[in-house]
């Protein structure tokens, strides 16, 4: 009966998948990891609702199967979530490691009450946003789910390690296309290097236009596909450009490749 007098701890975070609660987290549990699993059809979504009612929603795209989530909340109230999608109810870590299953990494965010000023992440690269980690290679079967700073809608991207593929990349000014350029081509902005300015502008002039007629430029931002606001804003933060050695393109779109014509 003493439980009647025990004040019920209010939850810091409630997590819903397709509107159904899959877990909740209280302050007393921190740091904590919860691992709910749920079978979902394509078009499902995960929603995070914090203690002040702030909502963060990630659309999980055309993926279907058993979604095995890992929701972590740290003492500084940062919330990190990943999921691995397999065809079985039982989570098999090896399925992901062997590349047989797809993983989705959701952009970390801070719960209400955190002392972190989240405006510091606006327009910054994927390392600063906690979607890639320096010194750790993000497996190729990982999809990233980003949240636009402006319209707050989520979008799924495929990231590839430009360094490992010996290439540089450019985004189109429309934000819809990404072109990859071998680092054997003069002016190609190889990962972690500052390209020679003259060679870079010459290459920019030689690159074909994107299918929608927009141009590829080194400092074009990577944009939100919903509202077109810059997501990785290289125009504002050119210092982030050479360190962003993952090139990105939208899930369902094609990564273009530059093939110079030799005369």
Q: Which two tokens stand for residue 131?
A: 């979607």
Q: Which residue, 122 or 199, has its beta carbon nearer to Zn ion? A: 122
Only one of the segments 18-26, 31-39, 77-85, 217-225 lies at the binding site for Zn ion (rule: CB under 5 A); that segment is 217-225
- Closest to Zn ion by CB, 34 or 153: 153
Two tokens at 56?
């963060």
Q: Which of 100, 197, 209, 226 binds Zn ion (CB under 5 A)?
A: 226
Question: By C-beta, is 202 or 226 nearer to Zn ion?
Answer: 226
The Cα–Cα gap between 7 and 9 comes to 6
Interface of this chain with Zn ion, residues 20 to 39, rule: CB under 5 A: none
| Calpha distance 45→63 (Å, rounded) | 10
Is 148 a residue that touches Zn ion (CB under 5 A)? yes
CA dihedral 57, 62, 64, 69 (to 10 degrees): -30
Q: Nearest 5°: CA angle at 167, between 96 and 156?
A: 45
User: Would you count residue 150 as binding Zn ion (CB under 5 A)?
Assistant: yes
Q: Which of residues 54-93 bind Zn ion (CB under 5 A)?
A: none
Instruction: Tell me the C-alpha distance between 90 and 100, whole Å.
Output: 15
Of 97, 198, 227, 243, the one binding Zn ion by CB under 5 A: 227
Q: What is the binding site for Zn ion (CB under 5 A)? A: 148, 150-151, 224, 226-227, 229
């Amino acid at each position: 009966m003493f439980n009647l007098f025990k004040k019920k701890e209010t939850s810091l975070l409630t997590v819903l998948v397709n509107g159904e609660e899959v877990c909740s987290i209280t302050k007393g549990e921190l740091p904590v990891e919860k691992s709910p699993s749920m079978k979902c059809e394509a078009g499902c979504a995960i929603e995070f609702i914090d203690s002040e009612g702030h909502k963060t929603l990630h659309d999980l795209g055309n993926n279907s199967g058993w979604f095995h989530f890992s929701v972590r909340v740290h003492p500084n109230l940062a919330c990190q979530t990943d999921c691995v999608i397999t065809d079985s109810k039982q989570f098999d870590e090896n399925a992901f490691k062997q590349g047989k299953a797809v993983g989705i990494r959701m952009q970390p965010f801070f719960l209400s009450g955190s002392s972190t000023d989240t405006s510091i992440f606006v327009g910054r690269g994927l390392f600063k946003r906690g979607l890639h980690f320096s010194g750790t290679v993000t497996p190729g079967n990982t999809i990233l789910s980003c949240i636009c700073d402006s319209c707050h809608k989520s979008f799924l991207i495929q990231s590839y390690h430009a360094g490992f593929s010996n290439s540089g990349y450019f985004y189109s000014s429309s934000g819809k296309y990404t072109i990859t350029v071998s680092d054997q081509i003069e002016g190609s902005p190889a990962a972690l290097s500052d390209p020679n300015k003259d060679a870079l502008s010459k290459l920019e002039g030689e690159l074909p236009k994107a299918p929608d007629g927009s141009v590829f430029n080194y400092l074009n931002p990577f944009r939100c596909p919903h509202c077109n606001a810059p997501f990785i804003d290289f125009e504002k933060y050119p210092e982030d450009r050479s360190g962003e050695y993952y090139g990105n393109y939208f899930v369902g779109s094609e990564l273009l490749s530059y093939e110079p014509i030799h005369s």
